[in-house]
Amino acid sequence: MRHFRFKLEAVRSLREQTQNQAEQELARELALREKHAHALEQASLRVETARTAGAPAPGSAMPAEELLRRQSYVERVEREQDAAAAGLAAQERQVAHGRQRLEVAAREREVLERLKETHRAEHEREAARREEAALGEVALATFQRRSLEQAA
């Protein structure tokens, strides 16, 4: 019996490699997303700390320069928080894009895997048919030989 050989094996292998690369890229994108989420969390904590730390008690006086410095600092950490939020949003878009690439790669590979299995099944059916025909011929030859021997 001939061994099964899938003619599109090189393409299937390439699609498998593409899917593996897409999985690795998505893993990197997810790790970066976690890093951005952590940065946003830290920035939010800094904003909260900046807003509450050093706030004058109600009814107490504080020099104008100190109020301006404090307000300036709060605004700066708020901008950092906004930048961290924008970075996280951008990274989430990258993750979504990476998921789409992985889905496409997996679908393309799956198509070739199903085609390969279909061809393998056809090959096995044809091999079984040939084997059955060969066994039938052997059985017929054996029957004819015995018939000739008995007739003689």
Per-residue pLDDT of the chain (152 residues; tens, 9 = 90+): 688 898 999 999 999 999 999 999 999 999 999 999 999 999 999 999 998 886 766 777 778 888 889 899 999 999 999 999 999 999 999 999 999 999 999 999 999 999 999 999 999 999 999 999 999 999 999 999 998 888 87
Q: List the CATH number of the domain containing 31.
A: 1.10.287
Residue 77, domain member (yes or no): yes
Strands, E assignment, the chain: none
Residue 1, domain member (yes or no): no
Placement of tokens 């017929």 in the chain: 140
Residue 72 is classified by DSSP as H
**Start-to-end C-alpha separation, the chain:** 37
Which of 85, 100, 76 minimizes the C-alpha distance to 37?
Answer: 85
Q: How many alpha carbons fall within 13 Å on the CB side of residue 114?
A: 6
Which of 38, 37, 41, 72 minimizes the C-alpha distance to 54?
Answer: 72
Residue 53, domain member (yes or no): yes
Range of the domain at 104: 9-151
Residue 2, domain member (yes or no): no
The tokens describing 28, both together, are 């990197």
Residue 147 is classified by DSSP as H
Residue 7 is classified by DSSP as T
Does the pTM surpass 0.75? The reply is no
Residue 44, domain member (yes or no): yes
Q: Per the structure, how many domains does the chain have? A: 1
Residue 45, domain member (yes or no): yes
Residue 3, domain member (yes or no): no
Residue 4, domain member (yes or no): no
